[in-house]
């Protein structure tokens, strides 16, 4: 969460583009990772991330602050975008076609090939899980969000998230070992 986020969000709601720019700078990498792990392909992850922020900017007047970070709302939009994406492109994406280069960014050119391959393998395993398991693994274990925020982002109770994360990590381990 950014310092003074509430005021920044209020300014963004009032139409101040620079305020929304600050939110974009802070949350874009998180949303991009969330989407990339779920769709695997860099170009599609970029398109979907762009759509998430565009939609957020267009509909920011509907946003209501309820004590949760702005990212909770962005994750909800991202989840819906990914659901729509798979609804349209169902069967078009093969899980075995994940390119390890997908995980290489311009800033991390020195990333080891072994690690990239490991990322690709884990990503494939995550994508075999149920969408709720995928979400809870990304938000709890990759983004390291507290249970309260994950519950807000997934619109579930904290108890449900604790149960989900336990089952999700168990299923992921089983998938990787299989």
Partner 1 sequence: MNLEELLKKFQSIEARKSYRERSRRLIIAHTKQTKVPRLTLAQILFRGLETGSSIVLAGLLILIIAGGFSVGRFLTPFRFSSLNPEGLKAEAEAIDIQIRLSDLTYNEQLQAESTDALPKATLRPTAKKQVILNTENATIKNSTSSEPEPLGVEATLEELAR
Q: Compute the distance between CA of residue 81 and CA of residue 11 in angstroms, rounded to an integer.
A: 25
Q: Compute the distance between CA of residue 156 and CA of residue 154 in angstroms, rounded to an integer.
A: 5
Q: Are 85 and 48 in contact (CB under 8 A)?
A: yes
| DSSP H stretches of helix in the chain | 5-13, 17-39, 42-58, 70-88, 113-127, 131-137, 147-154, 158-177
DSSP string, 87-102: HHSTTT--GGG--GGG
Q: How far is the CB of 9 from partner 1 (least distance, A)?
A: 13
Q: Indicate the residue among 18 and 91 with the shorter CB distance to partner 1.
A: 18
Q: Indicate the residue among 154 and 168 with the shorter CB distance to partner 1.
A: 168
Is residue 59 a contact residue for partner 1 (CB under 8 A)? yes
Is residue 25 a contact residue for partner 1 (CB under 8 A)? yes
Q: How far is the CB of 91 from partner 1 (least distance, A)?
A: 26
Binding residues (CB under 8 A) for partner 1: these are: 15, 17-18, 20-21, 24-25, 28-29, 32-33, 36-37, 42, 45-46, 49-50, 53-54, 57-62, 103, 105-108, 111, 115, 118-119, 122, 137, 141-144, 169, 172-173, 176
């Amino acid at each position: 969460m950014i310092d003074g986020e509430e005021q920044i969000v209020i300014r963004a709601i009032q139409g101040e583009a620079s305020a929304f720019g600050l939110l974009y700078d802070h949350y874009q990498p998180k949303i991009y990772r969330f989407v990339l792990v779920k769709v695997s392909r860099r170009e599609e992850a970029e398109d979907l991330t762009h759509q998430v922020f565009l939609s957020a900017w267009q509909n920011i007047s509907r946003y209501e602050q309820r004590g949760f970070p702005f990212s909770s709302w962005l994750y909800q939009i991202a989840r819906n975008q990914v659901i729509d994406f798979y609804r349209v492109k169902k069967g078009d994406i093969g899980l075995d076609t994940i390119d390890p280069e997908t995980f290489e960014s311009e800033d991390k050119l020195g990333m080891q090939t072994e690690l990239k391959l490991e990322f690709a393998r884990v990503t494939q395993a995550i994508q075999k899980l149920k969408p709720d398991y995928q979400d809870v693994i990304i938000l709890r274990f990759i983004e390291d969000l507290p249970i309260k925020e994950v519950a807000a982002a997934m619109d579930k109770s904290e108890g449900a998230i604790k149960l989900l994360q336990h089952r999700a990590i168990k299923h992921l381990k089983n998938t990787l070992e299989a």
